Amino acid sequence: MKTKEEKMATTAPDGMTRFLWWLAAADADILAECRTEKERYRIVGLAVMVTWLFATLAWGYFFSTIVKDDMIVLALALFFGFAILCIDRTLIAAMSRGNGNIRIMPVIFRLLLAVTIGLFISQPVVLMLFKKDITAQLELSKQTKLDAYRKQLTALNAGQRTDLQQALDRGRQQVQQKESDLKFYKDAYIKETDGTGGSGRIGESSVARVKKSAYLKTEEELQSLQHSWEPQEQQLQAKMATMRSADSLKEVIYMGTLTDGFLAQTEALHELTEQHPPMQQRYRLIVFIITLVEIMPLLSKVMMPRGEYEEKLAGATTQGVEAARLETAAGKELLQHYQNAALAEDKALVDELFDSTRQMRRAEAAAVVKEWQRRENKQYRNLWQQAKELLLGKIV
């Protein structure tokens, strides 16, 4: 036959079981005495642990889109995952029953809180599951945004760019027109000299000399025009190049703002779900499942019927409250007794003091009376005041 200590040693829960009970916000000492409740609270603890791991994973991916240091990401993920764990344990521990029934309003509030946390946690997990599609969509989104930004820059500088381009076109047209005139006069002069012109004469005729003069004059005008136009063209082209350089710099700066962060990925996921309805359905299903994982511990606690553990816990709580109430009442009664006893002792001490000093006070009073009789001021009020100061003052 095994002793009681041996039986308790064989039925004592192991470390993992105690850890799961701690996750389920259960009292391990009370639960160890309940034969039918141990496995149920292990299941609740497992549900809380799964939620904890999900939250840590989600926070880790969330911070990985913001911070590039892996150690910082790990520390933040563990901290915020532990925060979610504490919230879940608080929600479970705060689940109370009145007369064996769950209170509806606190449960509804806690369910709403759990659903809110679940929806937030589900977003990073969904982004991680659809990472490849989101990465491809991010590149398309960046190009679309860059094209839109270029159109904005073009519209912003359209007036100045148009003025510069028109000035370039006018100057080039003038040079081209002058080159065309020069070619015309040159061809006319050559035709006159080779006999194919209007005069039909070969050599330097008077008509040929007139056309040569026009040709040389046009050539001088062209050289003068080109000499004056080249600085203007270079200046206009420099302004155009400066504008293009400024626009390129703005584009580079704008591209630097198009990161692959959490918000950008969320926006890309939104675009994907709008463009692909099947993906939208699966996205909603995944969010629902992850949210269900978050509220699973609370649902387990709600659906779990009242059992042996709740009865013993309620009994222990009632006994503790009653013991505290009795201890408070006993303390008040003892304090009242102490005050009464102290008052009685003080009264007896004062009576004994007055009894032991009665003869001395009478002698002192007789001396005061004699002194009063000797003085001229023999008012009774002065006599009584002197007697009190002399006798009572010495006693005190």
pLDDT tens, residue by residue, 76-98: 989 988 988 888 888 777 765 54
* 32: its two tokens: 């160890």
Selection from 185, 183, 178 nearest residue 222 by Cα: 178
3-state SS class at 25: coil
Query: Could you tell me where the beta strands, DSSP code E, fall in 147-290?
Result: none
Q: Is 195 left (phi over 0), alpha (psi -120 to 50) or beta?
A: left
Residue 102 zone, left/alpha/beta (φ > 0; ψ -120 to 50; rest): beta
- Residue corresponding to tokens 């930004």: 149
Q: What is the C-alpha separation between 44 and 23, in angstroms, rounded?
A: 8
* Radius of gyration in angstroms for the set of CA atoms belonging to the chain, rounded to a whole number: 52
Taking 70 as the pLDDT cut, the residues of the chain under it are 1-11, 95-107, 110, 194-205, 207, 305, 307-308, 313-314, 316, 368-369, 371-396
Q: How far apart are CA 291 and CA 166, in angstroms?
A: 63
Residue type present at position 279: M
In sequence order, the β-bridge partners of residue 97 are 102
Per the CB < 8 A criterion, the answer to whether 30 and 97 are in contact is no
263-291 residues labelled b (16+ CB within 10 A) or e (exposed): ebbbebbebbbeeeeeeeeebeeebeebb
Q: φ, ψ for residue 219 (rounded to 5)? A: -65, -40
Question: Strands (DSSP E) along the chain, which ranges?
Answer: 97-98, 101-102
pTM of the model: 0.52
The b-or-e profile of 121-146 (16+ CB within 10 A means b, else e) is: bbbbbbbbebeeebeebbeebbeeee
AA identity, residue 313: L
Chain centroid to CA 52: 19
Delimit the domains of the chain by residue range. 12-129+276-306, 156-263, 320-356, 359-396
